[in-house]
Amino acid sequence: MFPSKPGLTLLALAVAVLASACASTPTGRSQVMLVGDREMNAMGIEAFSQLKQESRVSGNTRQQRYVRCIADALIAELPAEWQELPWEIEVFQDDAANAFALPGGKVGVNTGMLQLADSADQLAAVVGHELAHVMYRHGAERFSQQILAQTGLTVAAVAANMQAPENAQLIMGALGAGAQVGVLLPFSRKHETEADLEGQRLMARAGFDPAQSVALWQRMQDQGGARAPTFLSTHPNPGGRIQALERELAISRPLYQQARAAGRVPGCRP
């Protein structure tokens, strides 16, 4: 039995959507993207605004300066197109050891993470990891996977053709995550590994000791006990991640040495 004319039209549209939605990560991995940067940035900006209204932003100016110093050093090492985002860095008063970055250049770090990461180098590993999620467009990729899995290619076609930021509410509603989009939605193992390794390279280029990314993961694992830190709970197989970061040091250490030789010595102090 052959598909009906509407069915053929939908099939052709679906094929066209997928064919036009191909992208790739900075390392060359193929991605399917059904939502563009403008839509994702609009979602991230709106979500961050809501988070600031609903959550307690830390009034500790020293903490804010410390985190912003680290983030600024890392952002300066991003490719030019990502440096141009309107980056905004906030510390949230929350004991959960967690951090996040949203599309649109919005970064949040909980005070609980400041207590867990006992040096600027370790905190740079956390922030670098989150910036890597943004640079690799993991939020858009994950959201595209959700569209395909939950609502089918019909909605995917609509989302792929959305052009105006005012449609962000429709996209957020389809996801069902509201203000938490990009925060609670877990990334895949592949995404986390990419963010771990790119974050380590990023911190090395900024002059932070990449070996401290390994130390941070070991610290999180040791302190996890029966109840792992929130940041760790979203990252499967911590032992394997530590091993991958240790292997990546063969690439990151030379980058760190080059950064130090060039005078990139971040002066961020708690």
Q: Is 57 helix (H, G, I), strand (E, B) or coil?
A: strand
| DSSP code for 4 | P
CA–CA separation, 262 and 239 (whole Å): 34
Residue from 198, 191, 107 nearest 144 by CA: 191
| DSSP labels, 27-50 | T--EEE-SS-HHHHHHHHHHHHHH
The H or E element containing residue 168 is helix 168-175
State both tokens at 85.
């985002």
Instruction: Report, in angstroms and rounded to the nearest whole number, the Rg of the chain calculated over CA atoms.
Output: 20
Residue from 73, 184, 199, 91 nearest 139 by CA: 184
Bridge partner residues of 256 (DSSP): none
| DSSP labels, 107-121 | EEEEHHHHHH--SHH
Specify the pairing of strand 106-110 against strand 88-92: parallel
CA–CA separation, 213 and 222 (whole Å): 14
Q: Which of 39, 46, 130, 194 is catalytic?
A: 130
Our answer to whether residue 77 is catalytic in this structure is: no
Bridge partner residues of 89 (DSSP): 107
Catalytic residues: 130
